[in-house]
Structure 1
Amino acid sequence: MNAQVGNRINAYEALLSPAEESRLAWMMEAIERNRFLPAPAPESVFVGDGDYKAIGAEYLGHFVRIGGLKPSDRVLDIGCGIGRMAVPLTQYLDGTTGCYEGVDPVNEGIAWCVRNVTPVYPRFRFCQIDLAHELYNPGGALAGHEVVLPFSDASFDFIVMVSVATHLPAHEIAAYAREAMRLLSPGGRLFMTAFLILDGDPVRDGARPKFTAGTEAGTWYGDPSAPLAAIGFDQNLIEQALRLAGLRIQRVDLGHWRGTDSTHYQDIIIATKPGKAA
């Protein structure tokens, strides 16, 4: 594997100058304190645990420090939920050159974002994709492996898939990888989180979730009675899906779900579309 792999992030300085790091840290703190930013009622947050603004601000830091997100980037958030990643990005993306599109199968989350985010930040748009998912959209009209998102080729510089691959079977992850390849501009980046299974991970005492082998080779379930609630994959299976789509894996950073020290919970994979950015 050619990707940079590590248990903790130790290369922030390679992407950010001290002044940029200081500004980013200030912005993340300001987002958590800002009571005027849109935030749904806690009972409306149907995916993800923890503080809505704090986790969004945390991921803004990961997007910039690990993924190399720029204020001018055109961002696609696949599985945007109820706007947890979108809200902090309203404070970071440039209001003239940057833009954001969020898609999700759950209409309630999209409707909240359309009512509460887009009117204030018109360059942030959201739409429901009626994909079938047994947990989040069981009556969906489109099978996950048939996903085709309603955007033109090379429309985005940065694609986000946070806690999406952790709820999909492998063949659907491959379909999303192909869509990411189509939708990214040359040099564009995919920021994906996953549970990557390395030797010994499923039985590590501190692992949360603690995975057991699934019915398909290379697949692991946090709860065999609800397989899509938390899925892990052998690392080479995910990397192969990305490479077969034409993406190049640039970096893998391991998360603390496995009981080891890290700045983030799930594992993070950065993959790029070959070519030079315009």
Structure 2
Amino acid sequence: MLQRISQTIFQGVSWQHPVIAAGLRVLDPIDKLVRVAGGRGAYPPMSIRVRSNGLRKQFNGKRFESFGKILAEELANRSGLKRDSKVLEIGCGCGRFAFGLSDVLEDGAYTGIDIDAPSIVSAKNNTFLQRKKFRFEHLDVHNAEYNPTGKVSANEYRFEFDDNSFDVVFLVSVFTHMLPDDVRNYIKEIGRMLKPGGHLMFTTFVMDSGTKFDGNDFVYGTGPYRSSHPEMHEICVGYYIDFLDECLREARLVRTDDPVYSTKGRSVPDAQTTEFGQDLIIARKG
């Protein structure tokens, strides 16, 4: 119901609308009771989960849990993730994939960073994630949709991590909210931070296979990207593979395989597929 209301009265980030926000706060205690009964009591409140996961099917935490597990499996199968890997997640939100990786990273280290301060506060204060010794940090980078008061532009930001620090870096639904210069800089920085032989995995909407995706029509924008939103393009962005490959080459990374296409969007004949809601790109540092 909240999804339909948001589509009717608000264009943009639905959870920012006061009516939606008030409704979520009312639902939080009920959501917690259902989560606890279902063994998902450790997950963040619904009003926090929706900030980086959307309103759709977020009540009770089942979707939050299932997508976390799907992505953890994809990382294990495609990115060389091991139990002792040092992992960086850019755009971690309130920890959906940190929870998903909690059974995998037994001897490794996880760092999550995000531009949404309330999500980071929630992850830092989560007792389950604290026991795992997972680390979370706020990233004060400007984004028209999620962090309009951010101090630093994404196209010039340098991450506060040393060269060759991580075995795996991954981003989920981050480049889908960023414009080309921002994406180029992030990939360059990821190339710097990855160890030789390390892997990058990120999600996007690959425009080469069509500009319609799960009910969205990506018709706005020019050059290497298209957006489904006429005014604030960062709300939903897809990219052509040639641009992504160019960015990877500049960062001394190379794709390990063809894109892995989401079964949620459209059918791509003879392609690798994933049950995750966006297409996957995997690259390796030589």
Q: TM-score by structure 1 length? A: 0.80
Tell which deviates more after alignment, 47-56 or 33-42: 33-42
1:35 aligned counterpart, secondary structure: coil
Name the counterpart of 1:22: none
| Structure 1 counterpart of 2:204 | 194
Which residue type is aligned with residue 131 of structure 2?
A: V
Corresponding residue of 1:15: none
- Give the drift of 1:37: 6.4
Find 1:48's aligned residue among 49, 53, 58: 53
Secondary structure of the 1:185 match is strand
Q: Deviations over 1:234-268 (max 9, x none)?
A: 11111111111111111221223442174332111
Q: Does 1:177 align with 2:148?
A: no
Q: In the alignment, which residue of structure 1 is the partner of 2:28?
A: none
Separation (CA, whole Å) in 2 of partners of 1:55 and 1:258: 16
1:80 aligns with: 92
Alpha carbons of 1:110 and 1:217: their partners in 2 closer, same or farther (altered >3 Å)?
Answer: same
The residue aligned with 1:4 is: none
Residues in 1 aligned to 2:101 and 2:46: alpha-carbon distance in whole angstroms = 20
Shift of 1:119: 2.5
Map 1:25-104 to 2 at 5 A. Answer: 35=39, 38-45=42-49, 46-49=51-54, 50=57, 51-94=63-106, 96=107, 98-104=108-114
Provide, for residues 28-47 of structure 1, a one-character-per-residue CA deviation record: whole Å limited to 9, x for no partner.
xxxxx982662011121201
1:219 corresponds to 2:225 = yes
Is 1:255 aligned to residue 259 of structure 2? no
Identify the structure with the greater helix proportion: 2
In structure 2, what is the equivalent of residue 119 of structure 1? 130
> Could you report, residue by residue, the CA deviation over 1:214-247 in whole angstroms, capped at 9, with x for unpaired residues?
1x31221111133111101111111111111111
Aligned residue among 100, 112, 115 for 1:105 = 115
Kindly indicate whether structure 1 or structure 2 has the higher relative contact order, using CA contacts under 8 Å at least 6 residues apart: 1
Query: Take 2:48 and 2:238, find their aligned partners in 1: how far apart are those partners?
Result: 27
Q: Do the aligned partners of residues 256 and 118 (structure 1) sit closer, same or farther apart at CA in structure 2, a change above 3 Å counting?
A: closer
CA distance change for structure 1 residues 257 and 225 in 2, over 3 Å: closer, same or farther?
Answer: farther
User: 1:40 is aligned with what amino acid?
Assistant: P
- Which digits, 9 at most, give the CA deviation of each residue in 1:42-69, with x for residues without a partner? 1212012442111111111111122231
Q: Is the 8 A contact 2:123 2:129 kept in 1?
A: yes
Structure 2 letter corresponding to 1:75: V
Structure 1, unmatched stretches of 5+, are 1-32
**Which residue, out of 141, 166, 169, partners 1:159?**
169
Q: Tell whether the 8 Å contact from 2:220 to 2:229 is kept in structure 1 after alignment.
A: no
Query: Is contact 1:37-1:87 (8 Å) kept?
Result: no
**CA distance in 2: counterparts of 1:207 and 1:42, whole angstroms:** 24
How many equivalent residue pairs? 235
Deviation at 1:197, TM superposition (A): 0.8
Distance 2:75 2:112 in 1: 16
Give secondary structure in 2 for the equivalent of 1:47: helix
> CA–CA distance in 1 between the matches of 2:224 and 2:170?
24
Describe the superposition over 1:124-155 as per-residue Cα deviations: whole angstroms up to 9, x where unpaired. Answer: 10000100011111100111011211111111
Task: Using the TM superposition, give the Cα deviation of residue 207 of structure 1 relative to its aligned residue in structure 2, in angstroms.
Answer: 4.2
The match for 1:237 is 243
Residue 208 of structure 1 corresponds to which residue in structure 2? 215
Q: Is the 8 A contact 2:199 2:282 kept in 1?
A: yes
